[in-house]
A and B are shown apart, each in its own frame.
Chain A
């Protein structure tokens, strides 16, 4: 009987503790923070994150414990903790996840003006922390833009200049495909390296830069909401060019329509592909495998409507139900401060968790002593464009990648019809998200 009474007492105590939870969670400023980052444990990036939390503890006196949750199953792990209603205090994750986190009620709102050093943080980075309702749900931590990596030795061999438009880029890709730029006598090179799978919406992610430059879009503002725009003439034209890359000029690497980024990284570094649109975080790896002198970094060429490049990044999310909201805020402020950003650059250990600093007082390229990073920074500053602030962009990204994948897998499919159908699907999804204008 004694044990039963004890169990009941514990249960009762837990019940009362829980009832004081929710938004009115009891606050304790000395409570340690649990910090989650989407990096594999033991990787240099996780080491940088560890250094960041240690520096934070030293500066603020608040204990912080870093958990490096694997890249591939981060969302699943977070869902598990959500089901237990016991979220980590801080999550450092993609800006693309913001809508999802907000819809599920997992993150706290952030008062932009109330964040110390708020003015030093780039406006574009703040934009990526903004929800559909215009409020802020995270503090920027890392930004990135994408640029072209082009095999310099191949380009010189085929005697071409740097491309100034998407058409010239395709021409260069044709030369890379047909003129045996690696000189091994075999027809085994591809011009363009494309991750064309629908997994995690890769194809949409890759295609955004091209679509926007050509004046197309996935969705556009209408009234107080959004509406699909993939079926508009500019978009259809861009998608036709995409289809031509797969079907007519056949400049993409074999297997492109099912390739994910781990595959495409290998294609580029093993010398099977010549043009690769990717982020700056790949430079250290390709320097090692391919050699720094073998490739050059250039901004994606302007399209019919000028330049636009996909901008992305990561936010520090202050998770709901924390027992130390003050500590959460302090951590986010520290991570975005010059000191925090410099640790994140990972100059010493190669663990890059801050690609382009969000803090305008930090000059990333100068810190790294590598001008190629400046190309990415310029792309971000001049033509970077965030994904639309839908209630849930990742769902629309997924749906559109499936529509695009259909067009590149089936060369006989009419782009206009397919995009009309895709627009219908996107509109239905917007309706569901209550964001249809």
Chain B
């Protein structure tokens, strides 16, 4: 659309009658053009996303028996999942993991970004090396960490601990340390990603401000606190939103590292849903769980948008 307007001659053409509204057909065509371009994507989304989503909502009100036919059970699935202690625990574990992983990744990511900012040639290599965990498949990462977390003296991490006279730790194998161990893997993997976004943000901070504060005699820490961090505010907003969504959807690492165990100490929303749906064959209850997760995400998204608008209006 912009292209056609840009091409329209700006000079007033005297021989033409004054501009009137274009004919209806043209207007319709113009309105239809973007939709035509969107159609293929929308059709795919409709078939692979929106219809399954609607079906999940429908299933959440049914006892699902694909071959015999589903029966409507009203809110029974919801009261079953919301009332179960497992669900409450899973929500709590999910939130703890999300908060710990997000906070850890951001702090570590920022520290890495501050250390590795600059143009020096060798930094390029180090940054790539640090970024490697992000591009490695989660399944591989989880298997490697499972081996490293081997809960006896011979284990890779435990032999490191023993150098410092500690351990051996049970890591994933004890209800006390399992959640922290998973969060650590999440931070290890999430921090380099955050670092990259911070690096991009740091490039956008005005150098003059650093120089000015240096002239004013600000210490290194004060420069970070008063110049860098305020300059990175939009980056934080992006990272927090991404992390919240990523955190609540956590599945692969938990599934592969502990599958919710030991003693349900690492059960998160999606592993619980997976178990209910595919191991206990209660697809209706599992669907109710995912609908609840969807509602939580929806509320969080709207709340954060409203808040941003409020801040923007101020």
Kindly state the separation between the CA atoms of A199 and B261 in the bound complex, as whole angstroms: 9
B261 touches A105 (CB 8 A): no
Question: Contact string, B234-248, partner A, CB cutoff 8 A, digits 1/0?
Answer: 000000000000000
Q: How far is the CA of A83 from the CA of B65 in the complex (A)?
A: 9
- Complex contacts, A321 vs chain B, CB 8 Å: 67
Q: Do B151 and A410 have beta carbons less than 8 Å apart?
A: no
Instruction: Tell me the bound Cα distance from A79 to B258 in angstroms.
Output: 25
Tell me which of A186, A258, A395, A398 contacts B172 (CB under 8 A).
A258
Q: Which residues of A contact B258 (CB under 8 A)?
A: 258
Q: How many residues of B contact A (CB 8 A)?
A: 27
- Whether, in the assembled complex, B204 has its beta carbon less than 8 Å from a beta carbon of chain A, the answer is no
The answer on a CB contact under 8 Å between A197 and B259 is yes
Q: Which residues 24-82 of B sit at the A interface, judged by CB distance below 8 A?
A: 65-68
A residues in contact with B281, CB < 8 Å: 100, 104, 392, 394-395
Q: Which of B67, B150, B275 has the most CB of A within 10 A?
A: B67
Task: Say yes or no: A198 contacts B67, CB within 8 Å.
Answer: no
Q: Are B152 and A85 in contact (CB under 8 A)?
A: no
Closest CB of chain A to B71's CB: distance in Å?
13
Scoring A residues 241 to 252 as 1 if CB is less than 8 Å from chain B, else 0, what string do you get?
Answer: 000000000000
Q: Knowing A79-B66, A104-B66, A198-B259 touch, does A255 contact B151 (C-beta < 8 A)?
A: yes
Q: How far is the CA of A106 from the CA of B154 in the complex (A)?
A: 49
Residues of A within 8 Å of B65, CB to CB, are 103-105
Q: Is the interface of A mostly helix, strand, loop or mixed?
A: helix
Q: How large is the interface on A (under 10, 10 to 19, 20 to 34, 35 or more residues)?
A: 35 or more
Q: How far is the CA of A200 from the CA of B258 in the complex (A)?
A: 13
A255 touches which of B67, B68, B173, B278 (Cβ 8 Å): B173
Residues of chain A with a CB closer than 8 A to B260's CB: 198
Task: Write out, one digit per residue, whether chain A residues 46-84 have a CB within 8 A of any chain B CB (1) or not (0).
Answer: 000000000000000000000000000001100100110
B258 to chain A, nearest CB (A): 5
Tell me, in angstroms, the Cα distance from A392 to B175 when the chains sit together. Answer: 29
Contacts of A255 in B (CB 8 A): 150-152, 172-173
Contacts of B133 in A (CB 8 A): none
Q: Per a CB cutoff under 8 Å, which of B154, B155, B263 touches A405?
A: B263
Please judge, given known A-B contacts A100-B281, A406-B263, whether A258 and B67 are in contact too, CB under 8 Å: no
Inter-chain CA distance A410–B155, complex, in Å, is: 22
Residues of chain B within 8 A of A79, CB atoms compared: 66, 278
Tell me if A105 and B67 are in contact (CB < 8 A). Answer: yes
Q: Is the CB of B259 within 8 A of A105?
A: no
- Pick the contact of B175 from A187, A198, A398, A409 — CB < 8 Å? A409
Task: Given the known inter-chain contacts A100-B281, A258-B173, please indicate yes or no for A82 contacting B67, CB distance below 8 A.
Answer: yes
Nearest Cβ on chain B to A193's Cβ, whole angstroms: 14
Contact A254–B151 (Cβ < 8 Å):
yes
A residues less than 8 Å from B117 (CB atoms): none
Asked whether A106 lies within 8 Å of B172 as measured between CB atoms, the reply is no
State the Cβ distance, A248 to closest chain B Cβ, in Å.
Answer: 16
Are A188 and B152 in contact, CB atoms less than 8 angstroms apart? yes
0/1 interface trace, chain A 364-403, chain B, CB 8 Å (1 if under): 0000000000000000000000000000101100100010
Whether the Cβ atoms of B67 and A398 lie closer than 8 Å is: no
Further contacts, 19 of them, CB under 8 A, given A258-B262, A398-B279: A82-B67, A104-B66, A186-B153, A196-B262, A197-B259, A198-B260, A198-B261, A199-B259, A254-B151, A254-B155, A258-B172, A258-B173, A258-B259, A258-B261, A321-B67, A394-B279, A402-B264, A409-B262, A410-B263
Sample (6) of A-B pairs whose CB atoms are under 8 Å apart: A79-B278, A105-B68, A188-B154, A257-B262, A394-B279, A410-B175
